[in-house]
Amino acid sequence: MTEKLLEIKDLSVIYKTDEETVYAVNDLNLTLNKGETLGLVGETGAGKTTTALSIMRLLPDRTGRITRGCITLGDLDITRASEADMRLIRGNGISMVFQDPMTSLNPILTVGEQIAEVLQLHRLDMSPEQKEKRVDEILEMVGLPADRKHEYPHQFSGGMKQRVVIAIALACEPQLILADEPTTALDVTIQAQILKLMKELKQRLNTAMLFITHDLGVVAQICDRVAIMYAGEIIEIGTTDNIFEGKKHHPYTVGLFGSIPDMTKATRRLNPIEGLMPDPTAPLGGCKFHPRCPQCMEICKTAKPLNIIDGTHAIGCHLFAGGAGHDARINLESTGGAE
Amino acid sequence: MLRYIAKRILMMIPVILGISLIVFSIIELSPGDPVSLMLGDGASAQAVAELREQMGLNDNFFVRYARYIGHAVTGDFGISYRNKVQVVNEIASRFPTTLTLTFWGVAISVLIGIPVGVISAIRQYTFIDAASLFSALILTSMPAFWLGLLLILLFSLKLGLLPATGVATMQHFLMPSVTLAAASMATIIRMTRSTMLEVIRQDYIRTAKAKGASAFRIVYKHALRNALLPVVTVIGLNFGTQLGGAIVIESVFAMPGIGTLMVAAVRTKDTPIVMAAVLFVALLASITNLIVDVLYAYIDPRLKSQFVKK
Amino acid sequence: MKRFHLIVSCFLIVAFLLTGCGGNKPAADKAPGGKKDSLNFAILAESKELDPQKSSDTLTYVLLLQVFDTLIKQRPDGSLVPGLAEKWNISPDGKEVTFTIRKGVKFHNGDILTTKDVAYTLNRAIKSAYTSKFTSVMQSAEAVDDTTVKLKLKHAYGPILFCVANPSLAIVSQKAVEAAGDNFGKNPVGTGPYKFVKWVSGEKIDFTRFDDYYRGPAKIKDVAFRFITDATTAAIALEKGEIDVLHNPSKSDRKAQMDNKNLQYHEIESAYYYHISMNNKTGPFADKRVRQAVSYAIDRQNIVLGGLDGIGAPDEAPMPPSAFGYPKDFKNNPYDPEKAKKLLAEAGYPNGLTVKFKINQAAMYAKPAEVIQEQLRKVGINAELELMERATYLEEVTKKFNYDISLYVITALLPDADYVCYTRLHSSMLGNGNNFTETNIPRLDAALDKGRTSQSKDERYAAYREVSEIVKEEAPIIPVMTAKFAIVANKAIKGVSSSTVDLHEVYDYSWE
């Protein structure tokens, strides 16, 4: 009953400038099923946004490059598709909601024009009247009065702008939405509204979503599955239950949870993870987390850990290498489907 | 918006008055007697005194200034000392030449400068970019009169394609307009390039890309108009420089414009002509500024809402 | 986007409007026969209004001569021939000139020239401030009968016939002047070979042949005088054939134009001469010895070479050699720097002195002034050169005498020694930009007066030799050199020649 929508295999992405090469994403594997919401969690610089931009093929022209792996959306290999094909996919098959609604909208076009543009680009069969109607519809859908379509972005508040951005993303009812920290720039009450809206719309339109965030609280609210990303790799993936309720965790995930205040316990202070992410310009051997890992072993410094699968839950850590690890990768691909 | 324009036009009046007073004083304070210049060597003292009296030059400064303004308000800008013609007619006969020249100068600099700047920005660090920046540098550092003469040598004398002097046909305006456009074209290229580079890094350009818009559509619809605002400012400011440049260019290409008129009038201390020409140019510059400001509002809705609130 | 289209539309509308303004009218310059029937004559500045009695500059004269005639015509070689007056006669006391007016001469408006028009013109010139320099000796004019006009003078005046021949005294139609009032200068009506057609401000003046001209119609039909202020552009336009004649070409184009097989180049000694003026009343040059020192310090030949690129000639007497009265073979003080130093020492400047050397900033002065500055430095005079804009120069130097030494030219608008000597050196011309050296030497005044009023040619020559001797000795001014007048034209035009008085008649021209 679950149908695979997006599959990422062995994806590696680098940013190359004259001075240095940044290894942003390293051998990343991920699948996303239709209608599913996957949370992609990690610190700043873990490669979450790079992953999303790779899916859109919007990496910076001169510097960003996919060096290895492939991304398939249905039957289409995105890494090898022509630019013209990609233009048909963007905004239509896959949409993206960006982090900062304040700067994501063009200040000199009315919001109506900006929503209608997606329709002009992808719904060539629609008459101008139908497009207008669709714009009204979609505005109402994101909770904005349709008559405000003649206004300019500066006449809207931050939350309302994000609604507009979401409206743009949903206009063509894409199969997949990439939401890159859509609520980070908003204040908390607005955050909740937007999350609620996204959840509702997603269900209504049965759209899959890759939800990028560093906020575990948000993840718990909206995601079916969660992938934890560290230094360009996924180090733990599972259903939201697996991650939030499971007993076994990658030490980094443990650290991540430890750095969130828990209202139910009387903690004197938070436990941040010691140290910094490894230098992305000089790839580290072994487990990328070993310099910061409180449970680091000798093997962690030399060998890259395999994914240890336990049902819907996979962890890339030597701690759990009890023999079940040989077919980890193959198994990982079939772990999806939290419904 | 209309109220705003009306207000701006009203505000021009004190500006123009101020300029008139300043120019009148400058002509007044600079040495030299128009009558002696008119009569030349060998004129007798008596002849000079008579003519001065006849021309009302013996009244004091304020009387003459007030008289001038009084007449000017009714549209009477006096009679040229040198040529004895109605100044208004003289300005009117020279005006189309200068306006046509300046218009095409601005048009060419915009029509070439903006596309080149855009291409330069979206092809940053390529050969095209380097070539356009290099030519911009050459164009700015080349004095107008020299460029004008080079063009005449090449296109008139060697190739025989274009006339070197005069204003009879549009072909006559081609080389002068290009010469006039050269320097400001360079500014426009560099300005467009830098603002364009800034704009194409904006989030909303990424949003547009994510919508599936083509590169051309992104540049034309999303980036260009945002990048144009500072460029329009530069074009507006350049207009004054362009008028100044027109003086040199009119002389090189022997065109009967306001520029050559003004130069001749300053040399002979022909106050009525100098005053009228300067006021005319000032008025033109004020109107251009107004047009630029209105244009802003058209390009940027954020500014328009400010006008409306006023 | 709609707004964008609006802006583009506005742009296009303005563009079309302006294109309309430009007009489209390439002049047809070939006659049906295929022979060229028009001529473009370029001058380097816009002329003033074409009213003879309101003009006194050589540039405007060039144009006046096409439209108007004078009673006596001055030919390019300087000779005087009958013009509108068939003959003339000066009374024995020199105080009355009688002109016999040619019959049947027509004005452009079809009217016949009458003696009334002539008398009206002369009286108009006498009253005009512009022409007072030529008419100050004239008392009044009167039409005696249908053919005779009498001109009364205040006193006998040697160069009176040159005055009458001057374009400022060209004959106008009384009726036309009175009808046009102040606009006459923009709609001139004369008896000349060409009729005024139109004046395009800043660009050109068009003339067309007057078929009833008394000397017979001109050979070239349409003539345009074009104002091209940039000399280099004018030279290119001439080479390209956009213009056919260029008056006063730039010296820097001289060689190329002389070598160009398609052009003809004519030059002749000019009617103006460079002279050093000194402040005779205040400052170091009030001392005659210091002025004399300057006259021994300058090497004329070198100034011609360095300042005029050799295109000129040294001038030793205080007038251009083309002027009547020039003393032949006259020698001024020779170049003798040692003597100059000695004179300076005697005057109390054994270690030299520093003076203000003010000039008009025009290129024609700057180069010669630098050579002179260098020559003065060699004898110990440190002349601080100061370049001024023309109007400032005239005010500061010629009106307020705020200078020590200067270099200037004076043009003999009348080719007579009186014209240049009297204004510069006679004590009655003190002030008002004429005698700005404040020269006041009684015996010089006497010689000048004699030259001015004498009726005898020999006496006048003698007077100007004396004037030259006094100037040599007293050195109120120091003559330096004359430059050359030039005219360059398409080789296919016949009849082009250089003129000592810089007057050119297109009537003399024809296409080969």
Parse chain B into domains and list their residue ranges: 93-309
Q: A327 pLDDT exceeds 70?
A: no
Q: B17 pLDDT exceeds 70?
A: yes
Instruction: Give the pLDDT of residue B41.
Output: 66
For the segment B122-149, the average pLDDT, to the nearest whole number, is 87
Least confident of A312-321, B44-53, C189-198: B44-53
Q: Do B166 and C1 touch (CB under 8 A)?
A: no
C394, C433 Cβ separation under 8 angstroms: yes
Q: Using a CB–CB cutoff of 8 Å, tell me whether A108 touches chain B.
A: yes
Q: Distance, in angstroms, between C366 CA and closest chain B CA?
A: 18
d(CA B294, CA B307): 10
Q: Rounded to the nearest 5°, which phi and psi values hold at A145?
A: -65, 135
d(CA C82, CA C416): 19
Assign 3-state DSSP to chain B and report helix, strand, coil percentages, each to 5.
80, 0, 20
Q: Do C7 and B295 touch (CB under 8 A)?
A: yes
C253, C265 Cβ separation under 8 angstroms: no
Determine the 3-state secondary structure of C478 from DSSP.
strand
Q: Which one, of A22, A13, A53, A28, lies nearest residue A278 by Cα? A: A22
d(CA B77, CA C263): 45
The domain segmentation of chain A, as residue ranges, is 104-171, 249-334
Q: Which one, of A223, A233, A258, lies nearest residue A314 by Cα? A: A233
d(CA C484, CA C447): 29
Rg (CA), chain B: 24
Q: Which among B212, B299, B302 is the nearest to A92, CB-wise?
A: B212
Domain total of chain C: 2
Determine the 3-state secondary structure of C509 from DSSP.
coil
Q: What is the CATH number of the domain that holds C96?
A: 3.90.76.10
Q: A323 pLDDT exceeds 90?
A: no
Instruction: Give the pLDDT of residue A266.
Output: 58
Q: How many residues are listed for chain C in this entry?
A: 512
Q: A337 pLDDT exceeds 50?
A: no
A113, B221 Cβ separation under 8 angstroms: no
Per residue of chain C (512 residues), give pLDDT as tens. 455 566 666 666 666 566 554 444 444 444 445 568 999 999 988 888 899 998 888 888 999 999 999 999 988 888 899 999 999 999 998 899 999 999 999 999 999 999 999 999 999 999 988 888 889 899 999 999 999 999 999 998 888 999 999 999 999 999 999 998 888 988 899 999 999 999 988 889 999 999 999 999 999 999 999 999 888 889 999 998 999 999 989 888 899 999 999 999 999 988 889 999 999 999 999 999 999 999 999 999 999 999 998 899 999 999 999 899 999 889 999 999 999 999 999 999 999 899 999 998 888 899 999 999 999 999 999 999 999 888 788 888 888 889 999 999 998 888 899 999 998 999 988 866 688 899 999 999 999 999 998 888 899 999 999 999 999 999 999 999 999 989 999 999 999 998 888 889 999 999 98
Residues in C touching B44 (Cβ below 8 Å): 132-133, 136, 432
pLDDT in tens, A54-82: 998 888 877 888 898 889 988 888 888 88
pLDDT in tens, A17-52: 888 888 888 888 888 998 899 999 988 888 888 999
Tokens 């074409």 locate to C50
d(CA B224, CA B231): 10
Count of CA atoms in the C-beta half-sphere (13 A) of A317: 25
C306, C263 Cβ separation under 8 angstroms: no
Q: Which amino acid is at A15?
A: Y
Please name the residues in contact with C369: beta carbons below 8 A apart, sequence gap of 6 or more. Answer: C307, C357, C359, C385, C407
Instruction: Give the pLDDT of residue C226.
Output: 93
Q: What is the mean pLDDT of chain A?
A: 83
Determine the 3-state secondary structure of A30 from DSSP.
strand
d(CA A209, CA C321): 103
Q: Which amino acid is at C393?
A: Y
B49, B238 Cβ separation under 8 angstroms: no
Residue C217 maps to a domain = no
Count of CA atoms in the C-beta half-sphere (13 A) of C18: 21
d(CA A86, CA A89): 5
- b/e per residue, C415-432, with b = 16+ CB within 10 A? bbbbbbbbbbbbeebbeb
Q: In what order do the strands lie in the sheet with C148-153?
A: C85-90, C96-101, C148-153, C138-143
Identify residues of B whose CB sits under 8 angstroms from chain A CBs. 202-204, 206-214, 221-222, 225-226, 299-302, 305
A280, A24 Cβ separation under 8 angstroms: yes
Residue C252 maps to a domain = no
Q: Which amino acid is at B171?
A: Q
pLDDT in tens, A184-239: 878 888 888 888 888 888 888 888 999 998 888 888 888 999 999 988 888 899 99
C117, C172 Cβ separation under 8 angstroms: yes
Tokens 């051998």 locate to A27
Q: Do A109 and B222 touch (CB under 8 A)?
A: yes
pLDDT in tens, B109-118: 999 999 999 9
The DSSP code sequence of A251-264 is HHHHHHHHTS--TT
Chain A to chain B Cβ contacts (< 8 Å) = 75
C492, C511 Cβ separation under 8 angstroms: yes
Residues in C touching B42 (Cβ below 8 Å): 56, 133, 413, 419, 423, 434
Tokens 């991540």 locate to A256
d(CA A149, CA A111): 5
Instruction: Give the pLDDT of residue C376.
Output: 94
Residue A264's pLDDT band, with cuts at 50, 70 and 90, is: low
C317, C324 Cβ separation under 8 angstroms: no
Residues in B touching C232 (Cβ below 8 Å): 149, 252
d(CA C107, CA C172): 9
For the segment B66-85, the average pLDDT, to the nearest whole number, is 83
**C222-227 and C38-43 strand pairing:** parallel
pLDDT in tens, B173-214: 889 999 988 888 888 998 999 999 999 888 899 889 888 888
Distance between terminal CA atoms of chain C? 63
Q: In terms of pLDDT, which residue wins out, B83 or C188?
A: C188
C415, C162 Cβ separation under 8 angstroms: yes
For the segment B4-9, the average pLDDT, to the nearest whole number, is 84
Q: Which among B43, B107, B164 is the nearest to C236, CB-wise?
A: B164
d(CA B55, CA B74): 20
DSSP at C394:
I
Q: A268 pLDDT exceeds 80?
A: no
Q: What is the CATH number of the domain that holds C342?
A: 3.10.105.10
Disruptive mutation site among A50, A55, A97, A104 for chain B (greatest number of B CBs within 10 Å)? A104
A256, A274 Cβ separation under 8 angstroms: no
Cβ count within 10 A of residue A164: 26
Q: Which one, of A141, A151, A157, lies nearest residue A113 by Cα? A: A151
Range of the domain at C458: 272-483
d(CA A117, CA A98): 17
C164, C71 Cβ separation under 8 angstroms: yes
Q: Do A107 and B204 touch (CB under 8 A)?
A: yes
Tokens representing B102? 């300046």
Tokens representing C489? 């034209």
Q: In terms of pLDDT, which residue wins out, A32 or A269?
A: A32
A306, A321 Cβ separation under 8 angstroms: yes
**Residues of C (393-432) whose Cβ lies below 8 Å from B:** 394-396, 399, 410-411, 413, 419, 423, 431-432
Q: Which of C137, C154, C186 finishes a domain?
A: C186
Residues in C touching B41 (Cβ below 8 Å): 133, 410-411, 423, 433-434
Q: Do A58 and B203 touch (CB under 8 A)?
A: no
User: What CA–CA distances, in Å, run from A46 to A10, A226, B206?
Assistant: 16, 15, 21
The DSSP code sequence of B180-229 is HHHHHHHHHHHHHHHHHHHHTTSHHHHHHHHHT--HHHIIIIIIHHHHHH
Instruction: Give the pLDDT of residue B307.
Output: 57
For the segment A129-145, the average pLDDT, to the nearest whole number, is 89
Determine the 3-state secondary structure of C407 from DSSP.
strand
- The pTM score is 0.76
ipTM of this predicted structure: 0.80
d(CA C459, CA A91): 107
C482, C320 Cβ separation under 8 angstroms: yes
Instruction: Give the pLDDT of residue A328.
Output: 38
For the segment B144-167, the average pLDDT, to the nearest whole number, is 86
Q: Which one, of A150, A157, A158, lies nearest residue A115 by Cα? A: A150
C226, C204 Cβ separation under 8 angstroms: yes
Residues in B touching A152 (Cβ below 8 Å): 301-302, 305
Residue C117 maps to a domain = yes
The DSSP code sequence of A183-224 is TTTS-HHHHHHHHHHHHHHHHHHT-EEEEEES-HHHHHHH-S
Q: A325 pLDDT exceeds 50?
A: no
Fold observed for domain B93-309:
MetI-like fold (1.10.3720)
Please name the residues in contact with C202: beta carbons below 8 A apart, sequence gap of 6 or more. Answer: B93, B94, B97, B255, B256, B257, B260, B261, C46, C227
For the segment B251-278, the average pLDDT, to the nearest whole number, is 86
